[in-house]
Structure 1
Amino acid sequence: MDKAKLGKRFEGKVAIVTASTQGIGFSIAERLGLEGASVVISSRKQQNVDEAAEKLRAKGIEVLAVVCHVSNAQQRKNLIGKTIQKYGKIDVVVSNAAVNPSLDPILKIQNSILDKLWEINVKSTILLLKDVAPYLQKGSSVVLISSLVGYNPPPTMAMYGVTKTAVLGLTKALASEMAPNTRVNCVVPGLVPTHFTAFLTNNDAAREKVEGNKLIRRCGTTEDMAAAAAFLASDEASYITGENLVLAGGVSSRL
């Protein structure tokens, strides 16, 4: 990514990005930082946040790195507390954390896995925003991350897909509730090769089949997702809220 070609849409702004030490989350943090934001990154492991912060700082990005498991109430509060202590405000929140610990059909998933899926993929976003809301500035922006499978959950990712369907609805509900001072939108990625999707993208036949179904004959990149998230979070999208923006290379999800 060429820093010289990017604008400074986030100069003077503070952005929290959860699950941001690799994959889509890292690319979003990088994009916001390159455009001038002070970026607060988080992950479950100290080593991961330290390594990610080092990479971002090497690009001239102002970074605060905090260990945070989004389902841990104290760690969520610590993430917000350290952000306010250092920067005094919050302008952008990107809720990216998600898990998919099971490929089982919905009716065969263990109760503990069901709880984990809802806890991290849906509930943690609500609880994080409850804690963040008092510190959000007028004109602030929230970006949620869903998935194309939220529109039509496939058998091998059925319950994960259902939780991502919930995120689509959550975007609509929160946009109404947090208006007019805070906008809420959602990025809906199709298949993006990351560690999270390695079970699909590392299989050449499966990947070729997916790419063949796209009008743009390739999978998305983390940078594609970051560009969309940055647009929705920026003042350029100041008249957009409650929208679920699909980035899937032309794979149909809805009319």
Structure 2
Amino acid sequence: MQLDDTIAAIVTGGASGLGEATARALRAHGVKVALFDMNVARGTEVAAEIGATFCEVNVTSEDSVDAGFAKARAANGQERILVNCAGTGNAIKTASRDKKTGEIKHFPLDAFNMIIQINLVGTFRCIAKSAAGMLSLDPLEDGERGAIINTASVAAEDGQMGQAAYSASKGGVVGMTLPIARDLMGEGIRVNTILPGIFNTPLMNAAPDAVKDALAMSVPFPKRLGKPEEYAQLALTMITNGYFNGEDVRLDGAIRMAPR
């Protein structure tokens, strides 16, 4: 797919981090972009800066997602590109014992379900609705109608202590990539997933320098945190390379996460 001003894209989680970097990269090629995010202040600011459309969207809400797609399509037309970056995480052991009191606790199921609803169900909700819209488009070269990029995590393959919910949600994103690509192959819609390692996103920026330095040193090479622009570069490659389909690709400097 060639990127230019005839193409529309939606980026979930587009107000910051990996989503923002991808939105900026798409706009640099002239693509019409809509940002889905819950951070109204930051989303509005980024959209104004790059010439995009901001849509306040909670991916766990059917009505919110429907309204977001309606607003984005009214502004830019039917999207041919969807990049799913919206997500979150938590760190809770499956079961644990308080070292001082001896009290035994287990992972609250509502906290587990929240991560699944945002990272996995929210991603699928946007995929299904975007793909249905793409079916209405005329095919491009090779019969292509659209490209969908999802964001998982290296935790899908080597999750750490306390990441049961996060790893399950991201493992689900990896697991559904190929069957969705197969579902949509007859309609010319490609589906790929990126598994980022440790990236220098706003969430990571809040960590102390000593923590970030230690994490950087744990990366085999290069010994630094990933740059959001590097995620965006891979996302654009997946979009523009028409033979890239049904793949789950780690982007992690060869890191394999330790148990903790």
2:87 matched residue in structure 1: 98
Contact 2:156 2:168 in 1 (8 A): yes
Q: 5+ unaligned residues in a row in structure 2: which ranges?
A: 96-105
**Residues 80-95 of structure 1: matches in 2 within 5 Å?**
80-95=69-84
**Residues 78-227 of structure 1: matches in 2 within 5 Å?**
78-100=67-89, 102-107=90-95, 108-136=106-134, 137=137, 138=139, 139=144, 140-180=146-186, 181-198=188-205, 201-205=207-211, 207-227=213-233
CA–CA separation in structure 2 for the residues paired with 1:226 and 1:10:
16
1:239 matched residue in structure 2: 243
Q: Is it true that 1:77 corresponds to 2:66 in the alignment?
A: yes
Residues 120/205 of structure 1: CA separation in 2 closer, same or farther (3 Å cut): closer
2:36 matched residue in structure 1: 42
Deviations 1:40-87 (A, max 9, x none): 002113222211112213xxxxx1111101111111001111122223
2:103 matched residue in structure 1: none
Deviations 1:162-181 (A, max 9, x none): 21111111111211111141
Contact 1:43 1:69 in 2 (8 A): yes
Q: What is the letter of the counterpart of residue 146 of structure 1? A: A
Question: How high is the TM-score relative to the length of structure 2?
Answer: 0.85
CA–CA separation in structure 1 for the residues paired with 2:204 and 2:216:
12
Q: What is the letter of the counterpart of residue 150 of structure 2? A: L
Identity %: 19
1:23 is aligned, of 17, 25, 29, to: 17
Structure 1 stretch displaced more, 127-136 or 208-217: 208-217
2:101 matched residue in structure 1: none
Contact 1:214 1:248 in 2 (8 A): no
Q: What is the letter of the counterpart of residue 193 of structure 1? A: N
Contact 1:11 1:35 in 2 (8 A): yes
Contact 2:19 2:85 in 1 (8 A): yes
CA–CA separation in structure 2 for the residues paired with 1:219 and 1:31:
20
Question: How high is the TM-score relative to the length of structure 1?
Answer: 0.86
CA–CA separation in structure 2 for the residues paired with 1:252 and 1:157:
15
Q: What is the letter of the counterpart of residue 220 of structure 2? A: K
Deviations 1:116-136 (A, max 9, x none): 111000001112222222221
Q: 5+ unaligned residues in a row in structure 1: which ranges?
A: 1-7, 58-62
| Matched residue SS, 2:58 | coil
Contact 1:106 1:159 in 2 (8 A): no
Residues 48/209 of structure 1: CA separation in 2 closer, same or farther (3 Å cut): closer
CA-CA distance at 1:205 after TM superposition: 4.4
**Across the two proteins, how many residue pairs are aligned to each other?**
237
| Matched residue SS, 2:174 | helix
Residues 198/150 of structure 1: CA separation in 2 closer, same or farther (3 Å cut): farther
Deviations 1:2-27 (A, max 9, x none): xxxxxx73441000000110111100
1:4 matched residue in structure 2: none
| Matched residue SS, 2:222 | coil
